[in-house]
Amino acid sequence: MSIDWITVLAQIANFLVLVWLLKRFLYRPILDGIDAREAEISNRMNEAVEAKDKAAAVEADYHDKLRALNLSQSEISETIRKSAEDQRDALLAEAAQQMKAERENWQAHLGDEAHKFTTHLHRVGAETLLSLTRKALTDLADETLEERMARHLVQQIKPMVEDLKKAAGDATVATVVSHDALPVPVQKILKAEILALCPNATVTFKTDSAQVPGLMFRLGGAQIAWTLDSYIEGLESLMEDRLNTSAGPKVVTDAS
């Protein structure tokens, strides 16, 4: 057991060289590689954390948007529902108004039809009454209707002749208006009777198709008339009474 000091020095030098070589070719590359990998892992971890944070932020944003969307949807639904209700109310009001207007139109139309019917009934009733009266007078009294009307008019004029003259003032034209032209004998009778009551009058005869059958005497501004209006109205009320009593349901009971 001996120590070779030259070998000792050589081994110290060899060892130092080996330290440098291993530092150059082993430790530094390996440690740098480990450091780089750790840094890469750390970066990836940081990136993962950032990505996780971003994902969390995106998720929160998504939830916020979803909540806002739901809120917006409910608001839109409420708005649509209110709009639909308003529109429904407007349509119902418009329909009610249309129905009211149609009902009024229908009522007016019904009134027109009733007026037309009443007018037609008047005319037909008057013609019928006139025809029946004329035939009855001819058959029973051998007189004409116009002659009877003329005599009846004269009978009406007589008690009122003074009042008529006062009302007529200075007028001297006496006019007899009828629906149809009066026969000449009737005109002569009337003219004679009128001249007997009013000697200064000038008697004229006129026809008016719009006038109800009958006679109308006019002296200046005063006038007196006999027409079938009152008879026709009486006939109408009489027919209505009869129709009302006959149109209702009748209960027939068997006495036996």
Partner 1 sequence: MNLSPDQTIMFEAWGLPVNATIFYTWVVMILLTVGSMLITRNLRPDVPPNRWRTTLEVVVQGIQSQINEVARGSSRYLLYYAGTLFLFVATSNLLLVVPGFEPPTSSLSTTTGLAISVLIAVPLFGITSRGIGGYLKTYVQPSFIMLPFNIISEFSRGISLAIRLYGNIMSGAVIAAILLSVAPFFFPVVMDVLGLLTGMIQAYIFAILATVYISSAIAPTPQPQKETP
Report the residue number, 34 or 99, with the smaller CB distance to partner 1: 34
Give the 3-state secondary structure of 150-207: HHHHHHHHHHHHHHHHHHHCCCCEEEEEECCCCCHHHHHHHHHHHHHHCCCCEEEEEE
Handedness of CA 175, 181, 185, 186 (dihedral sign): negative
Provide the CA 34 distance to its chain's centre, in angstroms: 92
**C-beta closer to partner 1: residue 29 or 111:** 29
Alpha carbon 203 to chain centroid distance?
58
Query: With binding defined as CB under 8 A, does residue 38 bind partner 1?
Result: no
Q: Is 243 in the site for partner 1 (CB under 8 A)?
A: no
**Any idea what the Cα angle at residue 171 is, between residues 168 and 174, rounded to 5°?**
85
Closest approach of Cβ 45 to partner 1, in Å? 16
| Interaction of residue 43 with partner 1, rule CB under 8 A | no
23 binds partner 1 (CB under 8 A): yes
Residue placing its CB nearer to partner 1 in the complex, 20 or 62: 20
Maximum pairwise Cα distance, the chain: 200
Cα–Cα distance measured from residue 134 to residue 148, given in angstroms and rounded to the nearest whole number: 10
- Name the CA dihedral angle for 61, 63, 67, 73, rounded to a multiple of 10 degrees: 90
Nearer to partner 1, 4 or 139 (CB): 4
Residue 17 contacts partner 1 per CB under 8 A: yes
Question: Counting contacts by CB under 8 A, is residue 60 touching partner 1?
Answer: no
Q: Does 8 bind partner 1 (CB under 8 A)?
A: yes
Q: Which is nearer to partner 1, 18 or 66 (CB)?
A: 18
> How far apart are alpha carbons 177 and 203 in whole angstroms?
11
Q: Is 27 in the site for partner 1 (CB under 8 A)?
A: yes
41 binds partner 1 (CB under 8 A): no
Q: Are 181 and 207 in contact (CB under 8 A)?
A: yes
Closest distance to partner 1 from the beta carbon of 40 (Å)? 6
The yes or no reply on residue 12 touching partner 1 (CB under 8 A) is yes
Where along the sequence are the contacts to partner 1 (CB under 8 A)? 1-5, 7-12, 14-19, 21-23, 25-27, 29-34, 36-37, 40
